[in-house]
Each structure stands twice: as C-alpha cells, then as structure tokens.
Amino acid sequence: MPSVTAPLGGGGAIAGGSAPTAARGHGGGRRPRWLRVKDWDEHVEHLERMAATPGFLDLRDRVVELAGLRPEDRLLDVGAGTGLLTVAAAPRVARVSALDNSPAMCERLARKLSALGIGNAEVLLDGATALPFGDGTLDVVLSNYCFHHLTHTEKDQALAEIVRVLRPGGRLVFADMMFQVSVRDRRDRAVIARLARRMVVRGPAGLWRLARNATRIATGRWEHPARVEWWEDALARAGFAEVDVRALDHEGGIARARRPPGPGTRCAAP
C-alpha cells in the first residue's frame, strides 16, 4: 500500500485538505460549525462525491489533456485530495507525487492507490508554499480547485515554489475557481446570480445555505478566488512563460504555463 509520508519542510494550507483548529469567538465560545475555517479532514466523503460529478470529471480530462503527459514525466499533483488527477495521470507517466495537507485525504488516497494497484505514485502530507522537492526535479505540476483556498500572497508563494521545482521547459496546468465576489464585473455577477438561483430553487434549505454563505463573506470566512487577469499577472511575476489562462462557462477557469528553458530562467520570489 502506498505510504503517506510527511517530508521535512512542510508549508502552508492547500485545498484538498486544510485542517486548522476550530475558530473561536470572543469570550472563548466556539463559533457555529459553518463559521469556522473548513477542516478538510471532515469532508473526505463529500469531496469523493463531488469529484465524481460530470463537471469535475470534465475538468480532470481537460487538465490532463492540456498537460501533454509523457511516459518519462515526473509529476506533482498539488492539493491532490482523494486523487482525481493523480489516478488519471499515473498510468501515463513515470512517477506521481500526490501532495495534500489533510491527513484524512492522504490516507484515503493511499488506500485508493493500493486498491487500484497503482504502484508509481506516492502520497505526501505537506503544503503548497514550501514544496518538498529539489530545484528542477519535476516535469509537470497539476492542480484542480486548490489555489482558491490560498490567500493571494500564498498563491504567489506556491507559484514561486512550482517554478523552482520544475525543470526548464516544465509544464504547469491547473483548474481553479476564477471569479470574485463582486458586482462590478459582468461575469462575476452572472456567476453569483447562477449560484444563488441554484440555492433558491431548493427551498428553505437553499435559502438557509445562501444566508450562511453571505455571512461567511461578510465575516471574512470565504475562499480567495482570483480572476483570470490576476492569474495572468501572477504567473508572469513568478517567471513563467507561454502563459494561457481562460475562463470556462461557469465559475472556473484553466491555466497553463511553462518554466522557460535555458540557464536564464528567473525563479522570482513573491
């Protein structure tokens, strides 16, 4: 069975598993569960069900296709969760490292890899802002719906780490939530309206969820998605070339880029 390892040099939180302690309000009282920072160890089954939906299966296929995987590639899946990308990529490459900082997600993925007989994958319990790899040791980095759980500063740190560990010419491909909670941008308004309609049609339960989400936004307990334009700038700042970031027909988007070839590669820190 593939082991779950926790290499030295762990980093910040990543999607697919962020397990901080429960937030507390003034006076030491515990906040309601829906106002706490999400503990991904408690959401393994939910993530498994979500990963099996047509939308996420389509995202998986798009990311894997755009990566142009080759039999000799060494690949890293950042925020691997229960293995949506890892399981799809493993038969196509030499080696996969699946990285997540939720122990429960890592344990589930290790069991899954063993059950499927996938022997060229390792599961790493670690974070995205200090990757446990040497400089220029990876060919491909993939990620799916991970980065919106990081602050923008952490996103910059993660990109700097990714460009560091990629070999010259190495590829980065990821899907993520690419809109912001804003009424200024037409696409953002359309996404928010579509999500709100989905909740309203569910009746009282949907209205309650809509109210909870509004409270999360107002209190700062919310994800940190970034627009396409932010990602374009951030990838360029980190030193990537051939940057291509595109919005999809929902709240998501897909980005791809390369570490420039040659000795002049710039690995910019944020």
**Residue 187: pLDDT band by 50, 70, 90 thresholds?**
low
The dihedral through the CA atoms of 44, 49, 50, 54 has a sign that is positive
Give the separation between CA 103 and CA 53, rounded to whole angstroms: 24
In the prediction, which pLDDT does 224 show? 86
**Residue 184: pLDDT band by 50, 70, 90 thresholds?**
low
Give strand pairing partners of 177. Answer: 252
The stretch 38-49 carries a mean pLDDT of 76
Mean of per-residue pLDDT scores for the chain: 78
Q: Give the position of tokens 């309609």.
A: 197
Task: Judge contact between 122 and 5, C-beta under 8 A.
Answer: yes
Q: How far is CA 109 from the centre of its chain?
A: 16
Predicted confidence (pLDDT) per residue in 67-125, tens digit: 999 999 999 999 999 999 999 999 999 999 999 989 999 999 999 999 999 999 999 99
Give the separation between CA 14 and CA 40, rounded to whole angstroms: 10
Task: Judge contact between 82 and 51, C-beta under 8 A.
Answer: yes
Radius of gyration of the chain from its Cα atoms, rounded to whole angstroms? 18
Q: Give the position of tokens 């990757």.
A: 131
| Domain at 4-177+224-258, CATH from 3.40.50.300, 3.30.43.10, 3.40.50.150, 2.40.170.20 | 3.40.50.150
Give the separation between CA 131 and CA 37, rounded to whole angstroms: 23
User: Tell me, what amino acid is at 60?
Assistant: R
241-247/252-258 β-pairing: antiparallel
The stretch 51-62 carries a mean pLDDT of 92
Give the separation between CA 173 and CA 158, rounded to whole angstroms: 13
Could you give the 3-state DSSP secondary structure of residue 94? Answer: coil
Which pair of tokens denotes residue 78? 């950042």
Residue 205: is its pLDDT beyond 70?
Answer: no
Residue 59: is its pLDDT beyond 80?
Answer: yes
